[in-house]
Structure 1
């Protein structure tokens, strides 16, 4: 059975779910660095944007009874590949003991002109 996940601790969505769980696997919609209280982009600084996304992901994971250790795949979209080192520093702090696979993809633009968007897949 499909379990639809939504929490007020992460940015609200329009016409889609924050996450869906099926067969002990959680699929998160792409997260941009929106502050869930203001629904505005968190800064234009890539480090702050990355941290806001991780905070939003953590809120969705918590609502779903998952944690960062359950993440198996991280897909990151950026508008500038040169930001990789800065993003990776934030990731290395958050995921220091986590074995997951990652992809980084450069795109021309992201919703609300964000510099970064992250999707994850987690499994129990």
Structure 2
């Protein structure tokens, strides 16, 4: 059985995809960019502010799916510029301080809406 997840506490999809899909015990989150769900706009600020917004969006989607950040098993991070890695990582560490999922970090030539970061995640729903 497949279930599609949607919450108003995260940005509405800007294309033909779901915020997340639950398949069995896994929750697959689409890549999230730093859109403020209240305004529909990209958040002001640099990599730290954008990373925080993305992780808050992910947290909201996970909660709607019946999970939390502690259930995340894999994360894929796309950074516009790897020179932002240390600043990104400091904010990321605040969200994943105890349970640390597997992670890949990739520098992308371009990201939607010219943002600095996009994050996709997979969680295991117990």
Same fold, TM-score > 0.5, yes or no: yes
RMSD (Å) for aligned C-alpha atoms: 0.8
Partner of 2:36: 35
| 1:1-124 alignment, distance < 5 Å | 1-13=1-13, 14-124=15-125
User: Number of aligned pairs?
Assistant: 124
Runs of 4 or more, structure 1, over 2 Å off, are: none
Q: Deviations over 1:13-32 (max 9, x none)?
A: 13211000011100000000
For the residues of structure 2 that align with 1:51 and 1:44, how far apart are their CA atoms?
11
For the residues of structure 2 that align with 1:87 and 1:98, how far apart are their CA atoms?
17
- Using the size of structure 2 for normalisation, the TM-score is 0.96
- Cα deviation for residue 44 of structure 1 reads 3.8
- 1:44–1:115 Cα contact (<8 Å) kept: no
For the residues of structure 2 that align with 1:94 and 1:44, how far apart are their CA atoms?
19
For the residues of structure 2 that align with 1:99 and 1:17, how far apart are their CA atoms?
25
For the residues of structure 2 that align with 1:79 and 1:15, how far apart are their CA atoms?
23
Runs of 5+ consecutive residues of structure 1 not aligned to the other structure? none
- Using the size of structure 1 for normalisation, the TM-score is 0.97
**Secondary structure of the equivalent of 1:40?**
coil
For the residues of structure 2 that align with 1:108 and 1:92, how far apart are their CA atoms?
25
